[in-house]
Amino acid sequence: MKMRRWSVLLSVLLILTAAITGCGGKEKAGSLKVGVRDDIMNFGYLNKETGRYYGMEIDLAGKLADELGYEGVEFVTVRPDNRKQMLLEGKVDCLIAAYSIADTRKENFDFSAPYYTDETGIMVEKSSLFTGADDLKEKTIGVLSGSNAGPLLAQKLYDIGLITDKLISDTDEATEYEGASVIKAEKYSDLDTMLETGAVDAVCMDKCIAGTYMNENREFLDIVVAEQDYGVATQKDSDLSKPVADAIQNMLDDGTIDKLIDKWD
């Protein structure tokens, strides 16, 4: 009889302990699997010699995992052309990968509040002697395949009257409008090479990304294609969506994210 009472008491204590641990939200087994970039200096960059990732988004992922109570964080490299599928298929728990918040993306994913705001710009070689958007008339502009820079660029060029609404051709490699052509590259490093060799007359990308490839021979044209708000993306209506959103908001409120931005600026 006494053994039975001890057994019942032990069971109650175990239940209470589990409940307390669960309420604290600080005891999660395993690592938070975060999709990150490996090619954006100071944001998400992989040192292939050491195998270590560096940058503001890398630090943010670590802070987020700690805030959510995970034992650690596992970084998974994603690209613009596969990051959507990686998250949809659950190969990563969330994306912190210069992934801008857009209505079309909200159809598939939940987003945290923006942790960084950037501009999409147009970079050229100074030797081109381009001074403004008008110089891009009948020229070729490079964008990254799978990014939203292409649609944003097309809309901007249309708004300023540089292209018409007539689409001459559209393939996975290029889109030709009446007034300008857009070439799609697989990697940012490809865009860098294409601009240097003259395969394209200009490239369009977010400025934080362009910073990796900016040098003394290049400059941005005085035109903002669009503003981009980066948020942490999670699967739609997932159990992780609200905790992630709350954690990012907390880090915005207490200045943690500002400190990370200042560190890597």
Per-residue pLDDT of 222-254, as tens digits, reads 999 999 999 999 999 999 999 999 999 999 999
CB-based contact 97:83 (threshold 8 Å)? yes
pLDDT digit string (tens) for 136-164? 999 999 999 988 899 999 999 999 999 99
Q: Which CATH architecture has domain 29-115+231-264?
A: 3-Layer(aba) Sandwich (3.40)
Ranges for all domains in the chain classified under CATH 3.40.190.10: 29-115+231-264, 119-228
Residue with tokens 């918040």: 101
- pTM equals 0.84
What distance in Å separates the CA atoms of residue 100 and residue 116, rounded to the nearest whole number?
9
Contact indicator for 137, 226 with CB cutoff of 8 Å: no
CATH class of 119-228: alpha beta
**Spatial separation of the C-alpha atoms in residues 138 and 161, rounded to whole Å:** 12
The answer to whether 123 and 205 are in contact (CB under 8 A) is: yes
Question: Lowest-confidence range among 6-15, 41-50, 116-125, 152-161?
Answer: 6-15
Burial (Cβ within 10 Å: 0-12, 13-18, ≥19) of residue 260: buried
